[in-house]
Amino acid sequence: MYNDKDNPISNLLPKSALPAIFLAIVVILLIASFSTFYVVSPGHRGVLVTLGSVSSDFKQEGLGFKMPLISSIIQIPVKQITSETKADCYSSDLQQITIVLAALYRIPEASVVTLYRQYAGNAFQALIDPRIQEAVKEAVALENAESVVKKRDLIKTKALELARKKIGTILVLEDLVIRDINLSKELEAAIEQKMVQEQEAAKAKFTQQKAEIEAKTAIIRATGEAEAIRIRGQSIRENPAVIDLQMVEKWNGITPLVVGNSQGANILLPIKESKR
């Protein structure tokens, strides 16, 4: 018959410690069982790491199984990410300009494992940010400070093109958004003053063009009126009956009375019809 005295472990440990040991074993088993499951969140892919060894395949989003305690899942986002950075640049006229911009990028599925191995999963700081800053500096160096302020869309387009070439196909750089362009106070004041002067010059030019158009319009109108008078005069000379026709058209039906005076002038007075 089995007796606790025959168990060497029972002889070494007091009976009061056995429940605690049993509870610890149960907890360890529960932890081990739960650690066999993993969940990859939506918009992410999982990289399986077992005792420091990285699996060559990524895990799709959802529930999966792994080796308990010795394996872990690193989640890498594959949805679009927005990160902000800034670049200290010099324009072609050697003016210092700080450009604050946002980078919109995403990690392709095929690059998930490679990015984790080469850049520890931090693709922006290790790969994207340095190349974006380099691209922005190259784009700004081609323009003077005033053009950088006025042509920010052109700077953005050039920087985006250069950055995509530098990054390659391991990542997809969707877009660059220039959020702010910081200049020195002196340079900002000089550019603002120049813009005001250009606006005033444009306004003066518009006023001058308007006056010239109005003068030309007045000349055309006067020329037209003079031509109309000349044509009417010529028509009357060639056909005096035109005046009689105009008088008949304007007659109101009342017979005029001609009255003479000592100077030989005649006055036409209308004769009112007598009422019967």
User: DSSP for 26-48?
Assistant: HHHHHHHHHTTEEEEPTTEEEEE
Same domain, yes or no, for 130 and 73?
no
Q: Is 37 exposed, middle or buried (0-12, 13-18, 19+ CB in 10 A)?
A: exposed
CA–CA separation, 46 and 60 (whole Å):
6
Q: Are 33 and 11 in contact (CB under 8 A)?
A: no
Same domain, yes or no, for 88 and 161?
yes
Q: Which spans in the chain are helix H?
A: 8-12, 18-34, 112-119, 123, 129-140, 145-150, 152-167, 185-238, 241-250
In a domain, 271, yes or no: no
In a domain, 260, yes or no: no
Q: Are 68 and 32 in contact (CB under 8 A)?
A: yes
Among 77, 110, 138, residue at a domain's last position: 77
CA–CA separation, 197 and 191 (whole Å):
10
Same domain, yes or no, for 73 and 103?
no
* H or E element, residue 256: strand 256-260
In a domain, 42, yes or no: yes
Domain of 157 in residue numbering reads as: 81-185
Same domain, yes or no, for 102 and 154?
yes
Same domain, yes or no, for 37 and 55?
yes
Same domain, yes or no, for 60 and 88?
no
Among 33, 61, 77, residue at a domain's last position: 77
Same domain, yes or no, for 27 and 89?
no
In a domain, 195, yes or no: no
Q: List Cβ neighbours of 258 (8 Å cut-off, separation of 6 or more).
A: 266, 267, 268, 269
Q: Count CB atoms within 10 A of the CB of residue 222.
A: 10
Tens digit of pLDDT at every position of the chain (276 positions): 445 555 554 555 555 666 777 677 766 666 666 677 888 899 999 999 988 888 888 889 888 888 877 888 889 999 999 999 999 999 988 888 999 999 999 999 999 998 888 887 678 888 899 999 999 999 999 998 888 888 889 999 999 999 999 999 889 999 999 999 888 777 666 666 667 666 767 777 877 888 788 878 878 888 877 777 777 777 767 676 666 666 666 666 665 655 555 555 555 555 555 454
Same domain, yes or no, for 131 and 109?
yes
In a domain, 263, yes or no: no
Among 165, 185, 205, residue at a domain's last position: 185
CA–CA separation, 168 and 155 (whole Å):
20
The CATH number of the domain holding residue 178 is 3.30.479.30
Say which residue the tokens 């009357």 belong to: 236
Same domain, yes or no, for 63 and 156?
no
Q: How many domains does the chain have?
A: 2
Residue 248: alpha-carbon gap to chain centroid: 74
pTM of the model: 0.58
73's tokens: 């899942």
Residue 45 amino acid letter: R
